Homo-oligomer: A and B are copies of this chain.
């Protein structure tokens, strides 16, 4: 498999890139893509060599253009192909002659619209010459470290008011990799993660999967030390056995969160007409994922929420969860979702209850606080009370993970409760997820502060419960396969770097 890793690496860390079909016309994909590379070169982010190829142009953005890849003197290891579908075989033949190693074919108009013959022709050229092909009909690659950016979706757009606004942002560097079959979904994911201040290591959209498979990309990401969590969007998996084998290896070291769509019959029919793929029975996917430790998300929001939990916090090896809150109602909502997710929200031990009673006697938490589970600190809560209240949960060996529902609205609660919780978390190293509800200034601030301190914060009690459930499911899987301690060591090393 080391060959695969090396081959895939060319898409992300090429030495020399030729953009075949680069264009001067600003609305064309060939322009946007070439410009991405040029800008990243100027930013000193993209450091490899860059060549525009187009027989009809002399220069693009001030860079001399080559009529064919064969006119380039130096070696080229990666080509990005943006020419019309029918010319792709010819261009591929030239790339083969040039000794290119990898080709990302952005162009659409292949098997997804019934042109199976054309796609076959391309893959046969590739097979013969040893070129690995990503796509066709894909968005290609975005790499936040090397500056490879094949996205033809413009970073900004101009509104009718004349305002230029961010349209398809490129997220900052971070621990999350995105592997997606759908380009449109991929763009949406980049937009979502950027807006939510989450960083991305690598992004790859593989479209029709004529050659490079999802499994190969997953294998590659296993070896990529910048990637810690893999978000995997799929409409179909062709070689199930290969996928299972690879996923099993990956999930022992890195979590994979899967959004597998086409669950319903009507959805599967839509998937078939989208990328020409046959979806297969949904139950089979669910049970296969479970078997190899792939965590399945139920919808778009959960997909990102799970990624966030796993990027921020270590997994949890047991399913006893404690909830601490200042808001009774949201506490109940959280319990309901925990139970639905198979988590255990059990009554605390007598020792823990006694500790809370002691705090009440000392006046350190409200006399009417509930000290079963959830702990409800009530409307009289202060930041100190949150700190004292949560410490007991960190100390309780029967509590595996903690959900903090700190609704900021109550008069005496100050923002510093967030820092207090985060400080304690560092000391005890027990996984915590948080929630504050609201969409105005202070709610946004509290959630962002939690995030910055490494505690994933969610906008609803149910989302927080689902975030915790994901940590528990992954922790139990790792534990069952004897990989928990190893993962934890690696996780802690990363966090301390």
**Taking beta carbons and an 8 Å cutoff, which residues of A are in contact with B?**
27, 29, 32, 108-109, 112-113, 152-154, 157, 159-160, 165-169, 180-185, 187-188, 191-192, 194-196, 233, 235, 259, 261-267, 269-271, 273-275, 299-301, 326-333, 335-340, 345-346, 368, 370, 372-374, 376, 378-379, 407-412, 414-416, 437-445, 459-463
Complex A-B: 7 CB contacts under 8 Å: A157-B408, A168-B409, A235-B332, A264-B340, A266-B335, A270-B376, A300-B461
List B contacts of A153 (CB < 8 A). 409-411
In the complex formed, the residue of B with least CB distance to A29 is B411
**Are A339's CB and B266's CB within 8 A?**
yes
Q: How distant is A366 from chain B, measured CB to nearest CB, in Å? A: 10
**Are A113's CB and B267's CB within 8 A?**
no
- Interface residue from B166, B181, B263, B462 paired with A300 (Cβ < 8 Å): B462
**Are A264's CB and B412's CB within 8 A?**
no
- Interface residue from B274, B329, B411 paired with A184 (Cβ < 8 Å): B329
In the complex formed, the residue of B with least CB distance to A274 is B328
**Are A27's CB and B412's CB within 8 A?**
yes
**Are B184's CB and A409's CB within 8 A?**
yes
**Are A332's CB and B166's CB within 8 A?**
no
**Are B188's CB and A330's CB within 8 A?**
yes
The 3 closest A-B pairs by CB, nearest first: A195-B439, A182-B329, A191-B438
Q: How distant is A209 from chain B, measured CB to nearest CB, in Å? A: 14
List B contacts of A414 (CB < 8 A). 157, 160
List B contacts of A462 (CB < 8 A). 299-301
**Are B439's CB and A194's CB within 8 A?**
yes
- Interface residue from B169, B259, B329 paired with A233 (Cβ < 8 Å): B329
Complex Cα distance, B346 from A195, in Å, reads: 35
Q: How distant is A480 from chain B, measured CB to nearest CB, in Å? A: 25
**Are A460's CB and B275's CB within 8 A?**
no
In the complex formed, the residue of B with least CB distance to A378 is B108
Q: How distant is A181 from chain B, measured CB to nearest CB, in Å? A: 7
**Are B301's CB and A184's CB within 8 A?**
no
Complex Cα distance, B329 from A182, in Å, reads: 6
Known: A182-B327, A195-B438, A270-B370. 10 other contacts (CB 8 A): A108-B379, A152-B411, A154-B411, A157-B415, A169-B440, A182-B328, A270-B376, A274-B329, A299-B462, A301-B463
**Are A191's CB and B409's CB within 8 A?**
yes
**Are A167's CB and B409's CB within 8 A?**
yes
**Are A273's CB and B339's CB within 8 A?**
no
List B contacts of A345 (CB < 8 A). 266
Complex Cα distance, B188 from A438, in Å, reads: 5
Complex Cα distance, B447 from A192, in Å, reads: 14
List B contacts of A336 (CB < 8 A). 261-264, 267
**Are A445's CB and B165's CB within 8 A?**
yes
List B contacts of A194 (CB < 8 A). 439-440
List B contacts of A269 (CB < 8 A). 372
In the complex formed, the residue of B with least CB distance to A158 is B414
- Interface residue from B271, B328, B409 paired with A187 (Cβ < 8 Å): B409
In the complex formed, the residue of B with least CB distance to A112 is B368
